[in-house]
A = this chain, B = another copy of it.
């Protein structure tokens, strides 16, 4: 749907080829002013070059924000409280970053008086949905421009031709470095395309960027102690840390030990199956450790309720509904469940594996060794109670069995 009229647009701008072309195309196609927005969410790239490029392209309002703490604190950590995993495997590393970008773009649109926002995601992927559901939820009247769905630059050749004809610099080396489409932030780095489009093909060893191969990881294991406060890691090995520091630290240590590689086929919201590879070293550690902390401090039925709701919560994030009322309601339930999730977890890292080896909660452990023991429990648990428990649990089964025996 073509826009009615656009006077100023806030573009999510990385400084790379694609968004540089988009920048130019937007002003050509819409005759509008472009505001660029570049976020540091831990992708590990210098952002100042983006400023230079934007300036050279004539942009007058340039936003470059460090959102790492906000990203970790308000997006990644809340999600990990839910033990969220999409389709049993994927830790939602890309999905969780989009709502923050969308929110900041809408804020900047308000600050700059822009009437439109734009992004560089393609029309086949999940990211367009995540961006745009965010835009609309936060500003229902914003105009949204998705160049990849509009323009005719439908191949890399055409894109390069456009760049050439419009004086947009193409950094050949960097582009050439990887045949994969990649996305990175504090939580993960992802790879799609190239040889991965055949799901039978194993990825090349050279693809992976954040983690060592298990084969090259240290020959000695490493132990970490994570301190939990209300479901969040607040210290590592006794050192208090901010959420972003926690992620950065676990990424570094986990990556060294080869932890967090994933290779999967996933179901996109737009109806396509796609192959993706991911490195999520810190997140992989966090997921295991958080479950362990909960295993000691959450009531059984609360834990099961969370488990039952988790796939729905994860799908909401995957599909782009972070800013929806249903995600927020689920989040409140999840957050409230974490009041008692306090204590320490010990994990062992070795050759790609993270293993929980200990968990403890001085304040909130529901593990009662006096009851659980195989030894004499001094009468805290009356084994005879189990007889009635089983007999009533079995009653309906027996009634049915009696009926069946009658020859039905």
**Which residues of A are in contact with B by a Cβ distance under 8 Å?**
1, 83, 87-89, 122-124, 128-129, 132-133, 136-141, 146, 148-149, 154-155, 181, 192-193, 197-203, 214-215, 219, 221, 261, 263-267, 270-275, 291-292, 295-296, 299-305, 307-308, 311-312, 315, 321, 323-326, 329-330, 332-333, 336-337, 340, 344, 346, 348, 350-353, 355-360, 363-369, 371-376, 381-403, 405, 408
Contacts and interface: CB of A to CB of B under 8 A. Distances in A.
Contact of A133 (B87, B397, B402, B408): B397
8 contacts: A124-B372, A132-B390, A264-B356, A271-B300, A305-B330, A330-B333, A366-B399, A389-B391
A405 B272 CA distance: 19
Contacts of A273: 295-296, 300, 366-368, 372
A270 B136 contact: no
A401 to B, nearest CB: 4
Contacts of A337: 329
Given A394-B132, A408-B363, A401 B332 contact: no
A348 B263 CA distance: 12
Contacts of A1: 382, 384-385, 387-388, 391
A308 B332 CA distance: 17
A138 B193 CA distance: 31
A133 B387 contact: no
Contacts of A373: 193, 197
A403 B253 CA distance: 36
Contacts of A267: 295, 300, 303-304, 396
A353 B351 contact: yes
A214 B351 contact: yes
A77 B348 CA distance: 31
A130 to B, nearest CB: 10
Given A140-B402, A302-B326, A305-B312, 8 more contacts: A124-B372, A136-B394, A137-B401, A138-B401, A274-B367, A302-B325, A305-B326, A385-B391
Contact of A154 (B136, B200, B376): B376
B272 A307 contact: no
A128 B390 contact: yes
Contacts of A122: 374, 383
Of A89, A265, A304, A365, the most chain B CB neighbours within 10 A belong to A265
A191 to B, nearest CB: 12
A350 B214 contact: yes
Given A332-B336, A397-B133, A387 B386 contact: no
B383 A386 contact: no
A324 B396 CA distance: 9
A197 B321 CA distance: 29
Given A325-B400, A329-B336, A386 B123 contact: yes
Nearest to A309: B309
A373 B198 CA distance: 10
B360 A261 contact: no
A271 B203 CA distance: 41
